[in-house]
Amino acid sequence: MKAIIYFILMLIPCAAVAQVDAVGKEVGDSAYAKGDYQAAIEAYKAILADNSVSPEIYYNLGNAYYKASEIGKAILNYERALLLDPSDEDIRFNLELAQSKAVDKVDDGFKLFLTEWIEALVNVASMGTWAVIAIVTFVVMLIALLLLFFGKSIALRKASMWCSIIMLIITLFANYAAMSHYSKLTSREMAIIMSPTVTAKSTPDNSGTNLFEVHEGRKVRVSDDSMKEWKEIELENGTVGWVPANALEVI
């Protein structure tokens, strides 16, 4: 249990989001309202360049790119916003809207109901929120255990037993959810295709055999990041191929 608490406490600084530059955001919002999407893009990018990472800024930047008809960059920034705040339905809706404009229509494939339900539950809150929930429920569980062992009445001890079991389950799941978000934030495996059309090769050079094509806005997994000029990507069905590194951008 000490390891769990230590891990959760370690997550809280990672979940912290830098304070957003209010002046820069106002400039970007004003430009966006006026229809000057390029100016809005530059304003939002300047905020992010100052390490003011925020799901709101990534979301606004995605909106500006969408209005400027740069679908790949819109999807990229919506995905980044969703990583920071997976519970935001507006981000998810706009991401799906942008994906509908992409050439490649991706089918996530069949998923078990239980898997989908767990993923949906994990995405109800952010990493930081799940970390706080885990800490609070762990403390409550400890209090319940004390009452279980030192309570004088049978009714109190029975209630404490059930409370401690429920709190343990919530603590474990909250810890799992926080770890799941943490893994997504740090793995940097997923990427978005930024070029209009890219032909994946069998080997990391232009002389390789053409395998398949992917288009702007397609989400892929970078399965081999060992080379500077080329990256091996993997599609949802397990198909792999090599594409130029400048054809994609990591989420």
pLDDT (tens digit per residue) in 118-164:
888 998 888 889 999 999 999 999 999 999 999 889 999 999 999 99
Q: What is the pLDDT of residue 152?
A: 87
Q: What is the pLDDT of residue 197?
A: 96
Which of 97-101, 122-126, 167-171, 216-220 is the least confident region?
122-126
Q: Is residue 109 scored above 70 in pLDDT?
A: no
Q: Is residue 175 scored above 80 in pLDDT?
A: yes
Same structural domain, 180 and 203: no
- Strands 219-224 and 230-234, sheet pairing: antiparallel
Hey, is 232 helix, strand or coil? strand
Using alpha carbons, select from 3, 12, 35, 249 the residue that is nearest to residue 133: 12
The total number of structural domains that make up the chain: 3
Mean per-residue pLDDT, 106-123: 75
Which pair of structure tokens corresponds to residue 216?
Answer: 């702007």
Same structural domain, 208 and 160: no
Q: Is residue 21 scored above 80 in pLDDT?
A: no
User: Is residue 67 assigned to a domain?
Assistant: yes
Taking the whole predicted model, whether its pTM rises above 0.75 is answered as yes
Same structural domain, 43 and 92: yes
Radius of gyration of the chain (CA): 22
The per-residue DSSP string of 59-78 comes to HHHHHHHHHTT-HHHHHHHH
Range of the structural domain that residue 21 is part of = 17-101
Residue 238, phi-psi category: left (phi > 0), alpha (psi -120 to 50), beta (remainder)? left
At residue 50 the predicted structure's pLDDT band, cuts being 50, 70 and 90, is confident
Using alpha carbons, select from 40, 36, 90 the residue that is nearest to residue 61: 40
Same structural domain, 128 and 92: no
Which pair of structure tokens corresponds to residue 230?
Answer: 């080329």
Q: How far apart are CA 148 and CA 190, in angstroms?
A: 46
Q: What is the pLDDT of residue 9?
A: 46
Q: Count the alpha carbons within 13 Å of 249 in the hemisphere toward its beta carbon.
A: 13
If you average pLDDT over every residue of the chain, what do you get? 88
**pLDDT greater at residue 188 or residue 189:** 189
Residue with tokens 């767990």: 118
Could you say which of 73, 101, 129 is where a domain stops? Answer: 101
User: H/E element holding 50?
Assistant: none
